[in-house]
């Protein structure tokens, strides 16, 4: 059996990763979602193992020590990370798994899973990205400038990804990600093994019956 594909969906803050990922999961019920581990408290309605794996700080640090996380980061005093075992188990079962993650985390995952399929979600234009960043609320210009410069830095990481998908419309972005998944399954490597086995058996059978 072929291993599944690890699809990593990333992109600058505010580009709509979460929305696209949720829409994609609705369209592809067979696609497994990689649930993150976190030390932050569950919010109302959040379920263990569905939204997050909720961990104590000690449990999380133990996971770091055991190299049980593909990547982790601290954000506003809480840890967030990607449990390695669930990803590996899903792939070994021949199922595709999607990981929605910010750009720095995605590149850490790439170090451990270079064979992953790394998709960078782009805003329809940088002007539009700025609009989304500026239009969020009533923050100070300094905060907005900071968010913009972070987004520009993130955009510079694009070259390390395999694919870029413009999030002009959720439906269309989903279709392009589905096409990428289909195409990756067609990559020759995934077929060679089975084919050569069949080739061998056919040649033997053929020689046996004809000579």
Can you give the binding site for a copy of itself, defined by CB under 8 A? 119-120, 122, 125-127, 130, 141, 145, 148, 152, 155, 158-159, 161-166, 175-176, 178-180, 182-184, 186-188, 190-192, 195, 198-199, 202-203, 206, 210
Write down the least CB distance from residue 33 to a copy of itself, Å.
Answer: 21
Tell me whether residue 17 is annotated as binding: yes
3-state SS track over 22-91: HHHHHHCCCCEECCEEECCCCCCCCCECCCEEECCHHHHHHHHHCCCEEEEEEECCEEEEEEHHHHHHHH
Contact 22, 113 (CB under 8 A): no
Q: What is the DSSP letter of 151?
A: H
Query: Nearer to a copy of itself by C-beta: 5 or 63?
Result: 5
Write out the two tokens for 84.
Answer: 């390695």
Tell me whether residue 77 is annotated as binding: no
Query: Nearer to a copy of itself by C-beta: 60 or 161?
Result: 161
Distance CA 130, CA 21 (A): 22
Distance CA 180, CA 94 (A): 17
Query: Nearer to a copy of itself by C-beta: 56 or 140?
Result: 140
Neighbours of 118 (CB within 10 A): 21
Write down the least CB distance from residue 168 to a copy of itself, Å.
Answer: 13
Write down the least CB distance from residue 16 to a copy of itself, Å.
Answer: 16
Query: Nearer to a copy of itself by C-beta: 64 or 164?
Result: 164
Write down the least CB distance from residue 72 to a copy of itself, Å.
Answer: 26
Query: Nearer to a copy of itself by C-beta: 92 or 183?
Result: 183
Distance CA 121, CA 168 (A): 10
Query: Residue ranges for the binding site for ATP?
Result: 11-18
Annotated binding site: 11-18
């Amino acid at each position: 059996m072929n291993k599944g594909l690890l699809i990593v969906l990333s992109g600058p803050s505010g580009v709509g990763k979460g929305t696209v990922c949720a829409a994609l999961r609705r369209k592809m019920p067979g696609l497994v979602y990689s649930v993150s581990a976190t030390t932050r408290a569950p919010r109302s309605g959040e379920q263990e193992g569905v939204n997050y794996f909720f961990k104590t700080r000690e449990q999380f640090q133990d996971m770091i020590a055991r190299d049980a996380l593909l990547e982790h980061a601290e954000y506003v005093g809480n840890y967030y990370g990607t449990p390695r075992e669930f990803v590996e188990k899903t792939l070994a079962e021949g199922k595709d798994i999607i990981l929605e993650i910010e750009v720095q985390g995605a590149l850490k995952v790439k170090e451990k899973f270079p064979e992953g399929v790394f998709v960078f979600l782009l805003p329809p234009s940088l002007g539009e990205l700025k609009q989304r960043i500026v239009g969020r609320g009533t923050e100070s210009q300094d905060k907005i400038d900071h968010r913009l410069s972070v987004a520009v830095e993130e955009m510079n990481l694009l070259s390390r990804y395999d694919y870029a998908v413009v999030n002009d419309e959720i439906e269309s972005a989903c279709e392009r990600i589905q096409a990428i998944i289909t195409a990756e399954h067609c990559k020759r490597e995934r077929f060679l093994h089975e084919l050569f086995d069949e080739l061998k058996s056919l040649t033997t059978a053929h020689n046996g019956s004809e000579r």
